[in-house]
Amino acid sequence: MRSFSPRGCVGGFAVGLLLAACVVDVLYAGADGTSVLPMGRPSVWPTLTVLLVGLAAVLWPAGRRPEWLTPQVRTAAFALVSILYTAGAVAAGVDNLYGPGEVLILLCLLFVAVRHCPPRWAWGCGAVAVTALLLLPVRYVGPLDSGVLGFMVVGLVLVGLFAGLAVYLRTMDYRRALAVSETRRGERVAIAADLHDFVAHHVTGILVQTQMARMMAQTQPQDLDPVLAGIERAATEALASMRRTVGVLRDTGSEAADHRPVGDLAGITELTNAFASPVQQVTLRRDPTVSDDIPHEVQAAAFRVVQEALTNIRRHAADAAHIEVNLRDDAGRLAVSVADDGHGGTQLPAAAHGGGFGLVGLKERVTALGGELHAGPRGAVGWEVRAVFPAWKA
């Protein structure tokens, strides 16, 4: 995407807010003497220990978590610690103030439980977190008075907000995963259609050349060798096409596919010429060593790379003045790149920007052929889409 995402800033602000709230909890415990040692001296260690467990459950980096530290363990473990702390305070008859830090930790873990826990665990872990949250005022004001009831009402409102947001985001995650799956499935269907076209092309050539060979066998048997060589080459290319593409076809019983034009390297010239306009110059640079003997499925994928990149330029970078399309031989590999100098300006309405799955399907097609696809910023300005296909030369 070309637009700036504030996710990192928002995440940093949220972490800072959580840490500040925990500091308030510790200050409460120390100043008010809410955690008391047997000799009567106030201590912040019980409160600090509970908060450290909660912060570890919330802030432990995802890439460094051990396998056993699952979302359900993170949620249930701290909730149970909080419940035990409340039960211990009530049993000992000692007032232990709770602060915003522990409240925020429990709400964050409720969010984790609802959004990330497996379906069977989400309800249970969420219920434990809610129970721990609603029991917090019992530490200070005692059981079942107006203060407890008031906190429960506020707590239920906060629970509804956090749980509702988590359910919404979990639903969006599911819908996006479903959309990506459908995009990949549709791309596999398109690859199957392409495979049919490739093999039909080769088999038709074999059929024509076989008929020619039968006629020549009667009149020009000495000239049969080039015809037989052509039959052998066509059969080899057909088998290679099937071997490279049939491995990615996993979904059967699909609906009618969208039979789009396959395209080839020659079609890229027509595509770029048609795309150019008075305000947008398109330059096509084709390495002379890039021949038309490249397998048809690779040419089709290269065509699709250029087509998708140009479409995205029109959608997301209508202010681009110069677009450069390159086809070159990279140590026996076909490298295709499309770069622009746009800043991300577009005059299209939001509904015309697409759902963001074009590159997903394109990557499926490129990787199915053993290639690599990269899309990202091009230095200070502009965007570049680059695909590299493996060596096909003998």
- Give me the half-sphere count of Cα atoms (radius 13 Å) on the Cβ side of residue 79: 25
Do residues 230 and 205 lie in contact, with contact meaning Cβ atoms separated by under 8 Å?
yes
Q: What pLDDT, on a 0 to 100 scale, did the predictor assign at position 43?
A: 65
**Is residue 355's pLDDT more than 90?**
no
pLDDT average, residue stretch 213-231: 76
Q: Whole-number mean pLDDT of the chain?
A: 77
Q: What would the two tokens of residue 184 be?
A: 């990949």
- Span between the terminal Cα atoms of the chain, in Å: 38
> Would you place residue 65 in the very low, low, confident or very high pLDDT band (cuts 50, 70, 90)?
confident
User: Both 276 and 198 in a single domain?
Assistant: no
Contacts for 287-293: CB closer than 8 Å, 24+ residues apart: 287/327, 287/328, 287/329, 289/328, 289/329, 290/265, 290/327, 290/328, 290/329, 290/334, 292/264, 292/265, 292/266
Single-letter code of the amino acid located at 370: G
Burial class (CB in 10 A: 0-12, 13-18, 19+), 36: middle
User: Both 233 and 279 in a single domain?
Assistant: no
Domain membership of residue 135 (yes or no) is: yes
User: Both 276 and 196 in a single domain?
Assistant: no
User: Both 207 and 271 in a single domain?
Assistant: no
Domain membership of residue 127 (yes or no) is: yes
Could you give the CA distance from residue 269 to residue 250 in angstroms, rounded to a whole number? Answer: 34
Domain membership of residue 357 (yes or no) is: yes
Per-residue H/E/C for 113-144: HHHHCCHHHHHHHHHHHHHHHHCCCHHHHCCC
User: Both 236 and 363 in a single domain?
Assistant: no
Single-letter code of the amino acid located at 290: V
Q: What pLDDT, on a 0 to 100 scale, did the predictor assign at position 255?
A: 39
- Residue 242: domain span: 188-248
User: Both 34 and 125 in a single domain?
Assistant: yes
Share of the chain above pLDDT 70, in %: 74
Residue finishing a domain among 115, 143, 171: 143
Do residues 262 and 197 lie in contact, with contact meaning Cβ atoms separated by under 8 Å?
yes
Per-residue H/E/C for 284-326: EEECCCCCCCCCHHHHHHHHHHHHHHHHHHHHHCCCCCEEEEE
CATH code of the domain covering residue 297: 3.30.565.10
Residue finishing a domain among 248, 278, 300: 248
3-state secondary structure of 335: strand
User: Both 110 and 224 in a single domain?
Assistant: no
Q: Which residue has the higher pLDDT, 206 or 7?
A: 206
Quick one: which of 319, 324, 201 has its CA closest to 268?
324
User: Both 240 and 269 in a single domain?
Assistant: no
Could you give the CA distance from residue 23 to residue 31 in angstroms, rounded to a whole number? Answer: 12
User: Both 199 and 269 in a single domain?
Assistant: no
Q: What pLDDT, on a 0 to 100 scale, did the predictor assign at position 337?
A: 93
Per-residue pLDDT tens over the stretch 296-352: 888 888 988 888 888 778 777 777 889 999 999 888 889 999 999 887 655 444 444
User: Both 286 and 233 in a single domain?
Assistant: no
Could you give the CA distance from residue 313 to residue 303 in angstroms, rounded to a whole number? Answer: 15
User: Both 273 and 358 in a single domain?
Assistant: yes
> Would you place residue 143 in the very low, low, confident or very high pLDDT band (cuts 50, 70, 90)?
low
Domain membership of residue 172 (yes or no) is: no
Cα dist from 296 to 160, 170, 230, 330, whole Å: 56, 41, 16, 19
User: Count of domains in the chain?
Assistant: 3
Could you give the CA distance from residue 65 to residue 80 in angstroms, rounded to a whole number? Answer: 20
Domain membership of residue 192 (yes or no) is: yes
Domain membership of residue 368 (yes or no) is: yes
Cα dist from 3 to 142, 211, 317, 343, whole Å: 52, 59, 11, 10
Q: What pLDDT, on a 0 to 100 scale, did the predictor assign at position 8?
A: 55
Do residues 32 and 109 lie in contact, with contact meaning Cβ atoms separated by under 8 Å?
no
Per-residue pLDDT tens over the stretch 2-33: 544 445 555 677 888 888 888 888 887 766 55
> Would you place residue 387 in the very low, low, confident or very high pLDDT band (cuts 50, 70, 90)?
very high
User: Both 89 and 209 in a single domain?
Assistant: no
Do residues 96 and 85 lie in contact, with contact meaning Cβ atoms separated by under 8 Å?
yes
Q: What would the two tokens of residue 288 be?
A: 């002379």
Q: What pLDDT, on a 0 to 100 scale, did the predictor assign at position 388?
A: 92
Report DSSP letters for 182-237, one per residue: HHHHHHHHHHHHHHHHHHHHHHHHHHHHHHHHHHHHHH-GGGHHHHHHHHHHHHHH
Domain membership of residue 288 (yes or no) is: yes
Per-residue pLDDT tens over the stretch 84-97: 888 887 777 766 66
Domain membership of residue 222 (yes or no) is: yes
**Is residue 248's pLDDT more than 70?**
no
Q: What would the two tokens of residue 388 be?
A: 């590299």
Could you give the CA distance from residue 138 to residue 84 in angstroms, rounded to a whole number? Answer: 12
Do residues 305 and 272 lie in contact, with contact meaning Cβ atoms separated by under 8 Å?
no
Q: What pLDDT, on a 0 to 100 scale, did the predictor assign at position 256?
A: 36
